[in-house]
């Protein structure tokens, strides 16, 4: 059979395509996380969660908390995940909310049922702030001491250590301009929270907002519950979906 250049080229192309197809393809980081992470919300109802039924529901595949003038929150109130406590973990979720108030994601926190409480779903502890704003400092991404003595523990842009009754800023994580570019007003944003030992890191849409190390004896939290906040005050709504958790096996 005489040599046929066109047929030879086709054979080479086919062999090359087969070899390429056989090579393993890198899995995107988000898909790896979703495959390994525990899904905390089924997208249909509030199974596994507990909160004020007047204020929390599921709409279009998302958890929705909403207050109105006719149906306000009696103090800050929370939707509590009933799957146990978390110590060292990584949490990812999507959120969006109105710009009339703020919300938050509680972690390593405690459900408060004793003493003077405004409702049955009071939670105190570390809070990853949730806001629909992009001008620092009042934005999503900082750490707040919900129900505690220390207020804003670590602001967006700070690498900080809390020890001996005070905070010391040791570096920067991002600039105001970087945050403004990363955050999507009036839209869905991704929150990522990583807690390892006494170090807490938070990210918005992949941008690291804080790096906080809590060395305060008696106040640093090592383990606790997860919850979502509805803030008292002006009517608001907040939505959350795609909630995934990876826990340190030793901490379960």
**Fold designation for 28-251:** Jelly Rolls (2.60.120)
Paired tokens of 155? 């602001």
pLDDT for residue 2: 53
The pLDDT tens digits of the residues spanning 45-74 come to 999 999 999 999 999 999 999 999 999 999
- Higher per-residue confidence, 175 vs 23: 175
Q: Which helix (H) or strand (E) holds 34?
A: helix 29-36
Average confidence score pLDDT of the chain: 89
Average pLDDT of the segment spanning 10-25:
41
Q: Determine the length of the chain.
A: 252
> Exposed/middle/buried for 177, CB within 10 Å: 0-12, 13-18, 19+?
exposed
Percentage of the chain lying above the pLDDT 70 cut: 84
Average pLDDT of the segment spanning 167-190:
98
pLDDT over threshold 60, residue 25: no
Angle at 205 between CA 153 and CA 48, to 5 degrees: 75
- Higher per-residue confidence, 97 vs 252: 97
Sign of CA dihedral 132, 134, 140, 143: negative
Average pLDDT of the segment spanning 92-108:
97
CA nearest neighbour of 48 among 236, 247, 225: 225
- pLDDT-wise least confident of 10-19, 79-88, 198-207, 243-252: 10-19
Residue with tokens 């990853």: 128
pLDDT over threshold 60, residue 234: yes
pLDDT for residue 249: 57
- Higher per-residue confidence, 37 vs 145: 145
At residue 116, the 3 state secondary structure works out as coil
């Amino acid at each position: 059979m005489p040599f046929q250049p066109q047929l030879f080229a086709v054979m080479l192309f086919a062999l090359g395509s087969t070899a390429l197809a056989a090579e393993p393809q890198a899995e995107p980081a988000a898909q790896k996380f979703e495959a390994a992470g525990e899904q905390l919300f089924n997208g249909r109802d509030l199974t596994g969660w507990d909160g004020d039924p007047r204020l929390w529901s599921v709409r279009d595949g998302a958890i929705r908390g909403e207050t109105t003038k006719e149906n306000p929150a009696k103090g800050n109130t929370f939707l509590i995940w009933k799957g146990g406590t978390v110590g060292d973990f990584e949490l990812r979720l999507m959120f969006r909310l109105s710009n009339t108030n703020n919300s938050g994601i509680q972690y390593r926190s405690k459900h408060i049922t004793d003493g003077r409480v405004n409702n049955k779903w009071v939670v105190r502890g570390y809070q990853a702030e949730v806001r629909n704003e992009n001008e620092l400092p009042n934005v999503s991404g900082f750490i707040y001491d919900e129900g505690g003595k220390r207020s804003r523990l670590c602001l967006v842009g700070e690498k900080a250590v809390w020890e001996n009754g005070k905070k010391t800023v040791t570096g920067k994580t991002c600039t105001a301009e970087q945050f403004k570019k990363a955050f999507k007003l009036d839209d869905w944003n991704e929150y990522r929270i990583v807690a390892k030992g006494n170090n807490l890191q938070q990210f918005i849409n992949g941008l690291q907002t804080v790096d906080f190390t809590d060395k305060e004896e008696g106040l640093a939290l090592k383990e606790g519950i997860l919850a979502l906040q509805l803030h008292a005050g002006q009517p608001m709504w907040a939505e959350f979906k795609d909630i995934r958790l990876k826990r340190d096996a030793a901490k379960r």
